[in-house]
Structure 1
Amino acid sequence: MKKAGFIYLLFFVFPFFAAAQFTIKGKVLDATTCEPLSEASVFCQNTTLGTTTNNDGMFSLQLPGGGYDLIFSYTGYFTKTVRATKNETLEILLVKQEKSMEEVILTNSFEVKDGWEKYGQFFTDLFIGSTPNAQQCHLVNPEVLKFYFYKRSQRLKIRATEPVLIANYALGYRLSYQLDSFVHYYKTNNSVYSGYCLFTEIDDCDSLKKIWKANRAMAYEGSKLQFMRSYYDSSVYEDGWVIDMLDKKGGKKFYRVTNPYDSLYYAGLDSTGQIAFWYPRKLSIAYTNKKPEPEYLEKMNLPEDVEYPISYIDVTDEISVMANGYYYPQQNWLSQGYWSWKNVGDQLPFDYWPDE
Structure 2
Amino acid sequence: MKSLPILLLLLVGKICFAQQNYMLSGTVKDKRGEALPGAGVYVSGYKIATASNHNGHYALSLKPGNYDILVQLIGYKALNKNIIISDKAIKLDLVLEESITQLNEVTIKPDPDRPHYIAMFKDFFIGTTPNAEQCKMINPNVLLIDYDKEQAKLTVKTDQFLIIENQALGYRIKYLVNNFEYSSRTNIIYYEGFPYYEDLQGSARKKKIWAKKRLTAYLGSSQHFFNALYKGTAIEEGFIINKLITQPNRDKPSDSIIRANIKRLTKVQEGLLRKTINLNHGDSLSYWFRKKNLPDGISILSRSPILPDTLVHFKNQDIKSINFTDKLYIIYTKEKEDPLFANRIGLSISRPLDMPDYQISTITLQIAPVYFYANGGIYNPRAMLYAGYWAWEKIADSVPMDYLPSADVKK
TM-score of the superposed pair, with normalisation by structure 2:
0.73
* CA deviation after TM superposition for structure 1 residue 67, in Å: 4.3
RMSD: 3.0
The one-letter code sitting in structure 1 at the alignment partner of 2:312 is Y
Q: Deviations over 1:58-89 (max 9, x none)?
A: 21111346543322334432532314443432
Partner secondary structure for residue 151 of structure 2: coil
Q: Distance in 1 between matches of 2:324 and 2:33?
A: 45
The one-letter code sitting in structure 2 at the alignment partner of 1:285 is I
Given that 1:67 and 1:324 are in contact with CA atoms closer than 8 Å, whether structure 2 keeps it comes out as no
Q: Distance in 2 between matches of 1:324 and 1:67?
A: 11
Matching of residues 22-33 of structure 1 within 5 Å: 22-30=22-30, 32-33=31-32
**Unaligned residue ranges in structure 1 (runs of 5+):** 10-15
Residue 46 of structure 1 corresponds to 45
Give the counterpart of 1:124 among 122, 125, 129. Answer: 122
Q: Please, which moves more after superposition, 89-98 or 182-191?
A: 89-98
Q: Deviations over 1:92-144 (max 9, x none)?
A: 4446377999xx88x999x6624542322221111111000111111111222
Q: Please, which moves more after superposition, 76-85 or 345-354?
A: 76-85
Partner secondary structure for residue 233 of structure 2: coil
* CA deviation after TM superposition for structure 1 residue 49, in Å: 0.8
The yes-or-no answer on 1:282 pairing with 2:327 is yes
Given that 1:65 and 1:323 are in contact with CA atoms closer than 8 Å, whether structure 2 keeps it comes out as no
Given that 1:274 and 1:321 are in contact with CA atoms closer than 8 Å, whether structure 2 keeps it comes out as yes
Matching of residues 1-356 of structure 1 within 5 Å: 5-9=5-9, 19-30=19-30, 32-64=31-63, 67-75=66-74, 76-86=76-86, 87-94=88-95, 96=97, 113-247=111-245, 252-255=299-302, 256-262=304-310, 265-268=311-314, 270-271=316-317, 273-300=318-345, 302=348, 306-315=356-365, 316-356=367-407
Q: Deviations over 1:139-162 (max 9, x none)?
A: 111222232222333222223343
Question: Structure 1 residues 55, 280: CA separation in 2 closer, same or farther (over 3 Å shift)?
Answer: farther
Partner secondary structure for residue 253 of structure 1: strand
Q: Distance in 2 between matches of 1:179 and 1:130?
A: 19
- What percentage of residue pairs aligned between the two structures are identical? 27
Question: Structure 1 residues 96, 321: CA separation in 2 closer, same or farther (over 3 Å shift)?
Answer: same
Given that 2:373 and 2:379 are in contact with CA atoms closer than 8 Å, whether structure 1 keeps it comes out as no
Question: Structure 1 residues 96, 200: CA separation in 2 closer, same or farther (over 3 Å shift)?
Answer: same
Q: Distance in 1 between matches of 2:99 and 2:166?
A: 34
* CA deviation after TM superposition for structure 1 residue 323, in Å: 2.4
Q: Please, which moves more after superposition, 148-157 or 225-234?
A: 148-157
Q: Please, which moves more after superposition, 117-126 or 68-77?
A: 68-77
The one-letter code sitting in structure 2 at the alignment partner of 1:226 is H
Q: Distance in 1 between matches of 2:323 and 2:95?
A: 34
Larger Rg: 2
Question: Matched residue pairs, number?
Answer: 339
Q: Distance in 1 between matches of 2:233 and 2:241?
A: 12
Q: Deviations over 1:163-207 (max 9, x none)?
A: 111110110110111112322223323332221110000111111
Q: Distance in 2 between matches of 1:152 and 1:192?
A: 19
**Unaligned residue ranges in structure 2 (runs of 5+):** 10-15, 248-296
